[in-house]
Amino acid sequence: MTTAPSAPRAPRTSIALPGPRAPMTPRAPASSTVSAAPATPATPAASARGVPLGRSDVEAAAARIAGHVRRTPLLAGLPGPELRRTGRGLLLKAEHLQYGGSFKLRGAANAVLALGARRIVTGSSGNHGIALARLAAPLGAEVTVVLAGGAHPAKIAVIKALGGRTVRVPGGVAERDARARELAEETGAVLIPSSDHELVVAGQGTVGLEILAEAPDTETVYVPTGGGGLLAGVCLAAYGHPVRVVGVEPAGTPRYARSLAAGHPVRLAPGDTVADGLRGQQPGAVPYPIVRDRVDDLVTVSDAQILDAAALLRRRGFEAEPSGAVALAGAIRAGRTTGCSVAVVSGGNTKAALMAAAAAATPSRTHCTT
């Protein structure tokens, strides 16, 4: 593929994580739309390392996880009318074909392997928990996954089938993550959050490395955005490259659009969306400054647009869950572009896929539910 040269971006190879810094100038992404859900300021936690996280961390993650993840393909899968609507070329990064059914395996593997964790606690909507449980068995590790009330029952079943322990809590993602932190402190287990962790962000960034290695003339990458780990990781991978990085959020949970408009992280009230993996209430302390300083735009998409995108993918033979179709919905909403774009199909854990995974899994230990 050849495209007209993009406007050069000043090369940046790293970004400082949260800590003392000059006041930020509020800015609102041009294409974002936000609803009137109440929002309150959220105070970011200090970085565990206190040093910049950069592209080199993503490259190190790629080397570390190479034997544990699948290098997923870039596929052309849109029929004629939709292709014409989105421009000269829209490719799909097929993370629905990843082991465990989603990109989450990348960040989970990077954290588990780097930390050598043998007792792990996490808060998850499902896919991150599945990834950790899948990794744990061959490593002899124990995993406890805390899930909020709206977690998909089929995802819970897969976590159990893989030998994970599940804990259900009332409330939303904020309550879920608070309980995971408490359990880690109480038990001495290692907390590996679904997105708000340097190693997790670096692991997710390998998606971006693969896209830019295979299609270096890509002009825009559309990234589904929940807690922000994948978006921040792709931003890190894109430092020094002129590619535009666009985060796509469900309209009911626009935590990054709200936060960037306010100039600081904000916490939203629990929201509802068909994209169950993207219900996070606030940006993570690690992803937020990375996204703030590198993302080019944020767009929001309605549940109807998400379901339309998922149906389009199914018609083309791609089994994507609603969360996995969000980036494509954003690309379609953005309209026609002149160059090559990539939408990340982040997960394929549909009900049918999850039922098959649960049936195929062989528990390596007793699990329990509280």
Residue 32 falls in the annotated catalytic set: no
Alpha carbons within 13 angstroms on the beta-carbon side of residue 125 total: 22
Question: Which string of b and e fits 70-103 if b means at least 16 CB within 10 Å?
Answer: eebeeeebbeeebeeebbebbbbbbbbbbbbbbb
Which listed residue (32, 93, 102, 104) is catalytic?
Answer: 104
Q: Which two tokens stand for residue 39?
A: 């929002």
User: Measuring CA to CA, which residue among 39, 18, 36, 26 is closest to residue 267?
Assistant: 39
Helical (H) or strand (E) element with 298: strand 297-301
Distance (Å, whole) CA 303 – CA 325: 11
Q: 3-class DSSP state for residue 262? A: helix
Distance (Å, whole) CA 126 – CA 168: 12
Helical axes 229-237 vs 206-214, angle rounded to 10°:
40
User: Measuring CA to CA, which residue among 336, 340, 232 is closest to residue 292?
Assistant: 232
H-assigned helices in the chain: 55-65, 80-86, 104-115, 127-139, 153-161, 173-187, 198-204, 206-214, 229-237, 255-262, 287-294, 303-315, 326-334, 351-360
Q: Which two tokens stand for residue 18?
A: 């949260």
Question: Quick one: CA dihedral 111, 181, 128, 142, positive or negative?
Answer: positive
Which listed residue (32, 125, 259, 323) is catalytic?
Answer: 125
Residue 6 falls in the annotated catalytic set: no
Active site residue ranges: 104, 125
